[in-house]
Amino acid sequence: MVRKIVIIFSWLLLVSVPLSAQNDDFGVWSSVEIMKKLKKIELNGELELRTRDNLQNISRLSGKVGVEYRIIKPLRVGVAYQYLHFHDMEYSDYQPRNRFIAYLQGRQKWGNFTFSLRERIQVTTKDDSDRIKNSGKIDTYKINPGWVWRNRLKIAYDIPKSRITPAVSVESFYQLNNPDGNVFEGMRYALSGSYKINRKQSVELFGLYDKEINVNNPENRYIAGVTYTYSF
């Protein structure tokens, strides 16, 4: 088991190695998820740590709680609240942010493939009280709160007689309340491998390319990550 996990993680790390460009960055994302299933309802919680600047800085710490309801077998709806301790790189301080999430997710199995589409709306409030300019005025965010529509398509493959499930996904980020006009602000591409340890535990390793678009000085982020999940 350990050998398989090391091989998968090494491969995902290889595809996530940053290129030597000025606005390229590398980081690691790690998280722990807990889920409790109650008939058609699922309660879930998550703790996450993200790094950036080639592992030199913590970009954010976050905690999330949510609830999901299965409308019918392939269709689910959910809501969640997430608290973020966010690193403001411009002012070199950490700020609290509050995020409210609502989503609808459909899933369809076709042979050994599983296709899932998630439509998610998130609202994030930002604390700018510590963003003080040299003049003494607060440097406010142009968009606060930020409304974003996230659209993710994921394809997973169930390998027969194997505990490993590889997957690929693509996700777009679209602004909903930009006063200068709404545009797509980011794209995210991921390769992952999930390993089912037993009925209650699983671990997922992933490599992710996070690309900013339609912004000044866009940044390309190359991420290696791991998620541990416990369900009961």
pLDDT tens track for 116-173:
999 999 999 999 988 998 788 999 999 999 999 999 999 999 999 999 999 999 999 9
Q: What is the pTM of this model?
A: 0.87
CA distances from 30 to 61, 159, 174, 195 (A): 10, 25, 25, 16
Residue type, 188: R
Q: Which of 162, 157, 168, 172 is nearest to 118 (CA)?
A: 172
Residues 49-102 have pLDDT tens digits of 999 999 999 999 999 999 999 999 899 999 999 999 999 988 888 999 999 999
CB 36 within 8 A of CB 10: no
